[in-house]
């Protein structure tokens, strides 16, 4: 079982940008499914005739979109570079109403800051290396003002 899971995680059939687009579409669609379900419940409660058919249609649509999001969160986590735990958290956020939007925004923030963290780590590494050569150490390098380029 573990061997098959590792093989699945290494496959990565999508690029990160493709997987991210598919995941966002699934998250927004599942949130729209919640809206349809809430409208269906309200129609069933407040419309005298025909409300139950709206609820059945909205419930089935929400169910299909829910399954689509579950499939996307479990199927795309290797292509997104997520850990298994993050994939399971994405799956858990599909349960509360509009939880997929919250998780998607959180993951978008993490994705946006990942490049900054990598650059920051590179700059710290570069500053530590230059500390032994030429006199500019870590504190001097980070405190130095950038030079103006014209």
78 in any annotated domain: yes
What domain range includes position 22?
Answer: 2-112
Question: Total structural domains in the chain?
Answer: 1
pLDDT in tens, 43-93: 888 888 777 888 899 999 999 999 999 999 999 999 998 888 999 999 999
121 in any annotated domain: no
37 in any annotated domain: yes
131 in any annotated domain: no
pLDDT in tens, 91-117: 999 999 999 999 999 998 888 776 666
Write out the chain in H/E/C secondary structure. CHHHHHHHHHHCCCCHHHHHHHHHHHHHHHHHHHHHHHHHHHHHHHCCCCHHHHHHHHHHHHHHHHHHHHHHHHHHHHHHCCCHHHHHHHHHCCCCCCHHHHHHHHHHHHHHHHHHHHHHHHHHHHHHHHHCCCCCCHHHHHHCCCCCCC
pTM score above 0.85:
no
């Amino acid at each position: 079982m573990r061997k098959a899971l590792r093989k699945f995680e290494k496959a990565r059939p999508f690029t990160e940008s493709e997987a991210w687009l598919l995941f966002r579409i699934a998250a927004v669609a599942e949130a729209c499914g919640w809206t349809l379900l809430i409208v269906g419940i309200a129609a069933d409660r407040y419309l005298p005739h025909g409300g139950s058919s709206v609820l059945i249609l909205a419930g089935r649509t929400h169910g299909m979109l829910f399954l689509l999001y579950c499939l996307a969160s479990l199927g795309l986590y290797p292509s997104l570079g997520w850990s298994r735990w993050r994939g399971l958290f994405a799956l858990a956020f599909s349960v509360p109403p509009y939880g997929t939007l919250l998780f998607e925004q959180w993951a978008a923030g993490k994705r946006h800051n990942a490049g900054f963290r990598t650059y920051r780590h590179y700059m710290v590494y570069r500053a530590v290396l230059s500390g032994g050569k030429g006199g500019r150490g870590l504190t001097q390098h980070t405190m130095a003002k950038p030079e103006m380029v014209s």
